[in-house]
Chains A and B, each alone.
Chain A
Amino acid sequence: MLRTSLRGFSVLAFLSAIGCASVGSQQPLSAIAIELDETPFHPQTKYMCGPSALATVFHRSGLEISSEKLAEQVYVPGRRGSLQIEMVAATRRHDRLAVLVDGNLLAIVDELKLDRPVLVLQNLGLKRFPVWHYAVVIGYDPDDDSFILRSGTTKRLVIRRSRFARTWARAERWAIVVLKPGELPQSQDAATYVNAVVGLESTGRLHAAFKAYQAGLTRWPSNNLLLFGYGNALYELEEIESAAKAYQDLLVVSPDYLPALNNLAQVLGELGCRREALALVDRASQLGDSSFRGILAETRRSISSRPDTECGVVINQRPGPFPPGHP
Chain B
Amino acid sequence: MKRLLQQILLLSLVMSSLNNVAFARVITTEAALAIQQHEDSIERVGRFLMREDVQAALVRMGVDQSQAIERVQALTPSELAQLEQHLNELPAGGTGVIEVIGIVMIVLIVLELLGVTNVFTRF
Interface residues, chain A, with chain B CB atoms under 8 Å away: 44, 46-50, 53, 72-73, 75-90, 92-93, 121, 123-125, 129-134, 152, 171, 194-195, 198-199, 201-204, 224-225, 228-229, 232, 235-236, 258-259, 262-263, 266, 291-292, 295, 298-299, 302
Contact = CB atoms under 8 A, between A and B. Distances in A.
B83 A49 contact: no
20 contacts: A47-B98, A76-B61, A77-B62, A79-B61, A79-B88, A79-B92, A82-B94, A83-B92, A89-B74, A124-B96, A129-B103, A132-B91, A132-B99, A133-B93, A198-B33, A201-B29, A202-B28, A225-B29, A292-B27, A292-B31
A90 B96 contact: no
A171 B94 CA distance: 13
A198 B25 contact: no
Contacts of B83: 83, 85
A318 to B, nearest CB: 21
A262 B27 CA distance: 7
Interface stretch (B4-12, B63-71, B109-117): B63-71
Q: Is the interface of A mostly helix, strand, loop or mixed?
A: helix
A85 B35 contact: no
Contacts of B98: 46-47, 80
Given A73-B71, A236-B23, A266-B25, A81 B82 contact: no
Given A125-B99, A263-B26, 19 more contacts: A50-B94, A75-B63, A76-B58, A77-B63, A85-B75, A85-B90, A89-B74, A89-B75, A89-B79, A93-B74, A133-B96, A194-B33, A199-B76, A232-B26, A258-B27, A259-B31, A291-B41, A292-B31, A292-B35
Interface residues of B, number: 45
Contacts of B67: 72-73
Contacts, number: 161
A89 B71 contact: yes
A195 B33 contact: yes
A232 B29 contact: yes
B100 interface: yes
B95 A121 contact: no
Contacts of A224: 32, 36
A50 B91 CA distance: 12
